Amino acid sequence: MNEINIISSDARYNALCNILKEKGYDSRICEPGTDCKGDIIILPIKSALTEEEFKQIFQGVKKSALVFSGEVNKIRKYFDGEIIDYSRDERFVDKNAYITAECIIAIALSDSKKTLSDSMIGIIGYGRIGRHLTRILVGLGTSVTVFARREESRREALMNGAVSCEINTLEKAQFDIIINTVPKKIITKEQSEKIGKNTLVYDIASLPGGFEDESFPQRALALPGKMMPTSAGKAIYDFVEKYISNERS
């Protein structure tokens, strides 16, 4: 049977490794710098690996190996074989966004002194995570306001039960919780200063985040791996299994 090397210490990849073993695959966690010569290499969606670590990993990888990664451009210089990009699978990306939405809601509930149904929540951005947040929160009876640049997004948010506004009006309303999902610094320092002092502010967007004043919000990154590794690992398994099932021998 083909050997699967998983190159990550993230809890979700430990969960993935266990699932693969339960399904009968020859799977193991492989640290950077060790002998990674599996037939299938699974890298993180996003990683903190250095250029030197990428180089070390692919010195031992077979040219015939099947590689999974969310950072194809980073590894292409070291490996010219087949690379499967997580980000090209809409179903996987959407599932990961949904898990992220559940995670940040759990954090907000833990930090807040109010129930969701008694809270006013502002969501910045209406991409995948913003949509899931809106649907979940509106379904729980929360008052949700979506701030989005595109008129089409604001109309969709309105149809899904939220109030919708342009981003430049953020500081004109008071919220119990604000969640940013936009990975671009669109919230100025002046806007941040006008947000209520008792408002819980979370930035879950990829770097550089959405706030010009980086010290202002609470950063919450890689939430699926930190908070729901079993579900996150299962989502990765569902994605990779479509490709590796044909690799069994």
Q: Residues 198-225: pLDDT tens digits?
A: 999 999 999 899 999 988 889 999 999 9
Residues contacting residue 165 through CB under 8 Å, at least 6 positions apart: 145, 146, 147, 154, 173
Same CATH topology for 3-88+229-247 and 92-216: the answer is yes
Q: Residues 226-248: pLDDT tens digits?
A: 999 999 999 999 999 999 986 54
Structural contact between residues 125 and 183, judged by C-beta atoms closer than 8 angstroms: no
What pLDDT band is residue 36 in, cutting at 50, 70 and 90?
Answer: confident
User: How is residue 207 written in tokens?
Assistant: 């770097």
Amino acid at 8: S
Structural contact between residues 138 and 161, judged by C-beta atoms closer than 8 angstroms: yes
Is 185 a residue whose pLDDT tops 60?
Answer: yes
| Fold observed for domain 3-88+229-247 | Rossmann fold (3.40.50)
Q: Is the pTM here over 0.85, yes or no?
A: yes
- Integer-rounded Cα Rg, in Å, for the chain is 20
Tokens 């610094």, residue?
185
User: Which secondary structure element, helix H or strand E, spans residue 111, and what is its range?
Assistant: helix 90-111
| Fold observed for domain 92-216 | Rossmann fold (3.40.50)
Average pLDDT over residues 14-29: 95
Burial class (CB in 10 A: 0-12, 13-18, 19+), 46: middle
What span, in angstroms and rounded, lies between the C-alpha atoms of 73 and 183? 19
- For the chain, the structural domain boundaries read 3-88+229-247, 92-216
Structural contact between residues 179 and 153, judged by C-beta atoms closer than 8 angstroms: no
